[in-house]
């Protein structure tokens, strides 16, 4: 595909979800045509594809797309066995096809802006307190919360893990109360993730520091404060507000542009594979 050409995009999934995603793509002149289909085999020739699939066979459907040599954005539950992501990573590498995984904390406009400000953090600290009434005890909500933050840290640091520890507390065998994950990376950086349930006041803050600057993100409000040391050795501040309602649209456009320009996608199958492996090691430590 010539990088100057507008693209034909396929969206695969159930009718209601595909129509919603079509609305994210239609306004952009980089997209010439959007084709909706229930399965990848129902598509004709497309330049890239969005797979919307939460079924038990979602990785098989994704693999079908990779085998068709179609770059794809996989929008599904993030929590999955490392073997599933490994299969997709190896198949996509063999086929020379890009696969972007929908890890929304990484793909959010706020995070992408912050990563442009601090490419190589020295320290990441994430703190989140949640009302227990918002947690479905029968679901993976608590696990998804801390795995999302783990994935964000691993991707942003982009370094091997030197040492990792996890501390958990529970109210009985089935009621998790809190978790603290501490990571030291091979490059000397570190990260701390703390999540607590049963809080009387909700908050969700990500703090990232570099050598001469720092970021503080109020995640719920999608508000970021950037502080940096100026030439006069005074700390200067910049505040930026992001619209969370446009996160999916912006992530879709970013993916399409990366495919068109043959750039690396924002969160790849390899990233998801590495995160799932680390998650499984942590789970083994807490058993």
CATH number of the domain residue 147 falls in: 3.30.360.10
Determine the pLDDT at residue 28. 85
Overall average pLDDT of the 80-87 stretch = 97
Asked whether residue 279 is domain-assigned, the answer is no
Asked whether residue 179 is domain-assigned, the answer is yes
Taking only the tens place, the pLDDT of each residue in 3-39 is 557 899 999 999 999 999 999 998 788 999 999 999 9
Asked whether residue 272 is domain-assigned, the answer is no
pTM of the full structure: 0.93
> Which contiguous run of DSSP H or E holds residue 18?
helix 15-25
Orientation of helix 82-95 relative to helix 58-67, angle to 10°: 10
Both 97 and 119 in a single domain?
no
**What domain range is 134 assigned to?**
109-241
Determine the pLDDT at residue 2. 45
Both 82 and 11 in a single domain?
yes
Indicate the number of domains in the chain.
2
Taking only the tens place, the pLDDT of each residue in 261-282 is 999 999 999 999 999 999 999 9
Both 130 and 187 in a single domain?
yes
Both 117 and 230 in a single domain?
yes
Lowest-pLDDT range, 46-50, 175-179, 182-186?
A: 175-179
Both 237 and 128 in a single domain?
yes
């Amino acid at each position: 595909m010539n990088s100057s050409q507008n693209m034909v995009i396929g969206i695969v999934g159930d009718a209601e979800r595909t129509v919603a995603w079509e609305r994210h793509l239609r306004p952009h002149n980089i997209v010439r045509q959007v084709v909706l289909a229930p399965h990848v085999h129902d598509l004709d020739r497309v330049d890239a594809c969005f797979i919307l699939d939460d079924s038990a066979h979602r990785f098989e459907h994704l693999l079908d797309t990779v085998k068709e040599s179609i770059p794809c954005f996989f929008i599904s539950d993030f929590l999955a066995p490392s073997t599933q992501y490994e299969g997709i990573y190896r198949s996509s590498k063999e086929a020379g096809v890009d696969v972007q995984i929908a890890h929304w904390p990484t793909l959010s406009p706020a995070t992408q802006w912050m990563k442009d400000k601090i490419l190589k953090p020295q320290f990441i600290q994430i703190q989140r307190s949640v009302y227990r009434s918002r947690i479905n005890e029968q679901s993976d909500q608590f696990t998804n919360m801390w795995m999302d933050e783990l994935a964000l840290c691993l991707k942003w640091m982009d370094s091997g893990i030197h040492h990792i520890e996890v501390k958990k507390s529970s109210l009985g065998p089935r009621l998790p109360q809190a978790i603290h994950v501490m990571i030291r990376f091979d490059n000397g950086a570190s990260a701390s993730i703390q999540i607590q349930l049963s809080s009387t006041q909700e908050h969700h803050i990500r703090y990232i520091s570099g050598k001469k600057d720092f970021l503080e993100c109020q995640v719920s409000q999608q508000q970021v404060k950037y502080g940096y040391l100026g030439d006069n050795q005074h700390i200067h501040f910049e505040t930026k507000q992001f619209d969370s309602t446009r996160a999916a649209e912006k992530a879709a456009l970013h993916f399409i542009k990366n495919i068109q320009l043959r750039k690396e996608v924002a969160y790849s199958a390899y990233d998801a594979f590495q995160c799932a492996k680390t998650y499984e090691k942590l789970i083994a430590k807490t058993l």
